[in-house]
Amino acid sequence: MSNVPDNEFDLEKLFLPAWAQESSSSSKYAKYEGGGERPPGRGDRRDQGRRRPGEGSRFGGPRRGPGLPADRQGKAAGGRERPQRGRDDRRGPRPDQDRERREPLPLPELTLNLIPEETGVESLSRQVKMAGRAYPLFDIAQMILQKPERYKVVFSTRKNPEGKPIQPLFVCALDDTLWLSEDEAVGHVLNKHFATFYQADRTAAEPPKGKYTFVAQCGMTGLILGPPNYHDYQNQLRKLHAERFSRMPFETYKSRVKIVRDEEVVKKWVEEQSWKTEYLCLNMPEPLRLNDREAVEKHFRENHKDNIIKQTESHTLNGAAARGLRSPGLVRLVREVWEDQRRFPLQIATVLSQQFASHGLQFFKVNRTITHVCVARPHYLDLAVIPVSDGVKRIVEYIDSHPKCTRRKLVEALAPSPTPAPIAVPAEGQPVATPEASQPTPEQTSVIADLHWLIHQGHVIEFANGVLESAKKPVPKPPKPAKPEPAPAAAIQPEGATPGEQSAVESAASTPPDAAADAEVVAGGEPNPAMQPGTHSSTVEPSTLAEGPVSAAVPEATPTEPQGSIERPPEVTKVVDTPVSSVGSVS
């Protein structure tokens, strides 16, 4: 059995996936061998409720129904045996087993970014600078996501290869709401801001003729549609379906309509039809009356739509306004992005780091994993090299020798507080004296000032939980491998040269200038006329000499040709094949 109590957690197992975690009872009784028989009176309760056919009741004797003799047990009227229904027969198939799982609706093809509010980031920056502590960057991002007023939401459209937006965006100028289509925006204006453009006016009209005993009523909204044989019934039915239940098939919606024969409901419909509603257009140069809502919508599109509803490529809302959007697609998109950032706020942490950097804050990683923001990056203080005061030296040595110490422990250790004076017991009837708050001593003030300097220089780090830690000595980086020196230019030689010829060429290439002058003598001991100064002859580089036909340098231009007319890079010559017999001589 395990020695770990049940109320303790194994953190190593808690971070494993669900399939890899051991159940709490998997190994507790793995080696347990049960006893032979159960003690009397401890039977299985599950067996008490289920009895085999033919067994009696729990009080003994055969089991009988009320008022039935023993010979008629299990028989229905007429002497027929009742069919025994099993457990599976009593349970029919669940209605949702055969129902297909609905696929989630696709999200709008928009780009949505969460950006922290600049005013809040500025306040956080001041707090970090004043406190001097190092805070985890991703914890700050999670804190910003907790309240919608701490961040903004930026909606941007995506464009296809042709440069047109894949999903357009529309903004209502009256309340700064965002919509995915023009029809959604128009419907929103006519529902929420109808009184800004139109005024409803009811006038008496002739009631419908005839006697009606029943009317049709919408089963979901309770709206009275009128008798099915009324001339305007089909128009009202289709209009209500288009306005309220457009996603439902028309035949399905039609089946939800019920017939009501109540006299009060019929009388209410007749009274509604005895009045006629007209709509007076406001903010127009000439008075105009419209008969129905369809005419109102048409008039709004022709006269007000272009000024109220505008298409945009990017729009910014605060978090509260983004959560209060009425467009279903945008609501799903905002929730999806917000939940994704709650799991891992990479997007908002990236923007937050840029905003903190603009306010002069620094960043570093603890154990190369958790990014922290602070006033100064860790900077190792070598006490053996850098001269510092005794107070600073004592602080660093205390922090190094006491891991996970706090500011309070440090101050109390280096500059203990004086023993408080005993409080005198007041006499009867006199108020109790309240002890005054202790003020820091000059020694404590000096320690706090030295600690403040160490923190703002990066020599000491004070984390968000109050733990102090000195900056560690950086690990020396391994030396970079030395770059190989560039090899001297290889001798140009023909393909297929033998090793002996190659060594001869190398020796000729390494000949000093004085020896090269001696090599300008031909085999007969006489100076070579071609090598004499002042002559316009060609020179043969030693590195180009080899047995057989090689390339001998020959000047391309003759002495009579003007040299300034042709620009050539140095050492560019025209080569011809010339047999060579020995080094320093040309035949």
pLDDT digits (tens, 9 = 90+) for 203-233: 877 788 888 889 999 988 888 888 888 888 8
On whether the CB atoms of residues 267 and 207 are closer than 8 A, the answer is no
* Domain at 378-416+444-474: CATH architecture: Orthogonal Bundle (1.10)
pLDDT at 458 over 60: yes
pLDDT at 245 over 80: yes
- pLDDT, average across residues 494-507: 48
For residues 443 and 430, what is the distance between their CA atoms, to the nearest angstrom? 37
Which of 321, 339, 355 has its CA nearest to residue 148? 321
- Partners of 406 in beta bridges: 467
Termini Cα distance of the chain: 102
- The whole-angstrom distance between residue 178's C-alpha and the CA centroid of its chain comes to 23
368: left (phi over 0), alpha (psi -120 to 50) or beta: left
Query: Looking at residue 232, what is its pLDDT?
Result: 83
For residues 536 and 531, what is the distance between their CA atoms, to the nearest angstrom? 9
One-letter amino acid at 24 equals S
Q: What share of the chain is helix, strand, coil (3-state, %, to 5)?
A: 35, 15, 50
Instruction: Give the pLDDT band of residue 201 (cuts 50, 70, 90).
Output: confident
For residues 293 and 279, what is the distance between their CA atoms, to the nearest angstrom? 8
The H or E element spanning position 306 is helix 305-308
Which of 458, 450, 454, 448 has its CA nearest to residue 375? 458
pLDDT digits (tens, 9 = 90+) for 23-33: 544 444 555 55
Where are the chain's structural domains?
110-165+314-358, 181-297, 378-416+444-474
On whether the CB atoms of residues 469 and 406 are closer than 8 A, the answer is no
Own/partner contacts of 51-54, CB < 8 Å, gap of 24 or more, are: 53/84
| Mean pLDDT, all residues of the chain | 74
pLDDT digits (tens, 9 = 90+) for 150-199: 999 999 999 999 999 999 999 999 999 999 999 999 999 998 999 999 99
Query: Looking at residue 197, what is its pLDDT?
Result: 92
For residues 414 and 42, what is the distance between their CA atoms, to the nearest angstrom? 68
Q: Is residue 60 classed as helix, strand or coil in its secondary structure? A: coil
Phi/psi of residue 76, each to 5°? -90, -175
Which tokens is 84 given?
């025994």
Which tokens is 132 given?
């001097």
